[in-house]
Amino acid sequence: MVRTLNRQQPLLAISIGLLCFLTSFSGTTTPRDPKNNPLTNHSVVSRVEEIYAPFDTLRTDLRDYIWPTNASTVITSSFADYRRTHLHEGIDISTNSQKGYPVYAAREGYVSRIFISRRGYGKMLSVRHRDGFVTMYAHLQRFKDPIESYAKQLQKQSRKYALEVDLDSSMFPVSKGDLIAHTGDTGIGSAHLHFEVRDSSFNPINPFLLPQISSAISDLIPPVFHMIAFTPISGTSKIQGRHRVWVEDVKSEGPESYIVPQPVKLSGSVGISVRVTDQSDVLKYRTGPYRFEMYVDGQLLFSSAKKFLLESEAHQVAAYYDKGLLRSQKGRFEKLYIESGNRLSFYNRLPEGAGSIDASEFEPGDHELKVVAWDLAGNESTLTAIFVIGKSIAR
């Protein structure tokens, strides 16, 4: 059974497109056979709603956030990028390996937490805003006085460098654009600014959903497909006649078009993963794309977008990236199917199992697989492949 969704058009402009996409993230599904529709299972519906309900309404003024530094508008790591133990919960802004650039409050609010550690985020400030949303600024060199003086006083009293303290709203109020700190290289990594946006329940939100943040980036470069992987999901699954992961380099037919050079014979249940990179005009470091759609014979089987994340599920990095392929040094493949137990909120309310290709549900013969990847600016690239059900490949 192939499920179909109403295909959303690519983003036409960064700020307008992101706002439109944010208000229509839930999507719709139209299964062929209602008897086999997993969404009619009330327990499945309940689990899906539990994941997505916190993000149905983002009760914040999306246009009220500004870029938090004048160091650069170069992104070295995006929201939900791979980390060994978790998904990246913010964005990293380049400081050209330099320290001391000003860090500004992205909105009016107050400094709600001071965090200092020799590892992880290093020196970090959290600013809570009137609507309960929080912005976070990490790897700082120093805080602005009097915040810096207050932190040093607490360190002296405790005789410890590490510090984590929640603050009253009256202590350090800030206006939008106020200087609150300077960039540094504290914690793990070279000098850069880590910036996060959290909702009132402290769930991470992609900062590029905010128009003034997204519009700061220049990007005319579409995502680049590198490889595709077909993974057997059931014990009887086979790819090219063998029960093992089959990985293939893709072939470029232009800056936005890629193909798999040979047909792929499938049986059983199979999951698709792709290695795709993206970069903006000024970005040397490549990150992953923002959004995927996958079609079989023109019908939408799977969609995902890295918009937001339950804080409790940030550790599910292996549910999104294929760690087996990573360990085998094939690179960072993003899964285009939802495995059992995956509670990430990237899939537009699709249930567990969505995206997998069950060969028994297709007529024998050739079928077209198409994967479309978008970046945050709406640039898109397409990968096309042919998979074969129930007959030998003779080409």
Query: In sequence order, what are the beta bridge partners of 134?
Result: 128, 198
Listed in sequence order, the residues at least 6 apart from 378 whose beta carbon sits closer than 8 Å to its beta carbon are: 10, 11, 12, 13, 14, 17
The Cα angle at residue 20 between residues 14 and 24, in degrees rounded to 5: 135
At residue 103, the 3 state secondary structure works out as: strand
Tokens 């079928």 -> residue: 367
pLDDT in tens, 198-232: 999 999 999 999 999 998 887 888 999 999 999 99
- More confident of the two residues 28 and 318: 318
Q: What distance in Å separates the CA atoms of residue 217 and residue 331, rounded to the nearest whole number?
A: 26
For the record, the structure tokens of 394 come out as 């003779």
Q: Which residue has the tokens 């290093």?
A: 122
The whole-angstrom separation of Cα 136 and Cα 323 is 29
Domains, the chain, ordered by start = 14-40+219-389 (no CATH), 62-214 (2.70.70.10)
Span 293-348, pLDDT tens digits: 999 999 999 999 999 999 999 999 999 999 999 999 999 999 999 999 999 999 99
Instruction: For 119-203, list the strands marked E by DSSP.
Output: 123-128, 134-138, 140-143, 163-166, 173-174, 179-183, 192-198
Q: Is 70 helix (H, G, I), strand (E, B) or coil?
A: coil
Contact call for residues 119 and 187 (beta carbons, < 8 A) = yes
Give per-residue pLDDT as tens, 90-130: 999 999 999 999 999 999 999 999 999 999 999 999 999 99
pLDDT tens-digit series, residues 225-265: 999 999 999 999 999 999 999 999 999 998 899 999 999 99
SS (H, E, C) 263-331: CEEEECEEEEEEEEEECCCCCCCCECCCEEEEEECCEEEEEEECCECCHHHCCCHHHHECHHHHHCCCC
**In the beta sheet, which residues pair with residue 302?**
294
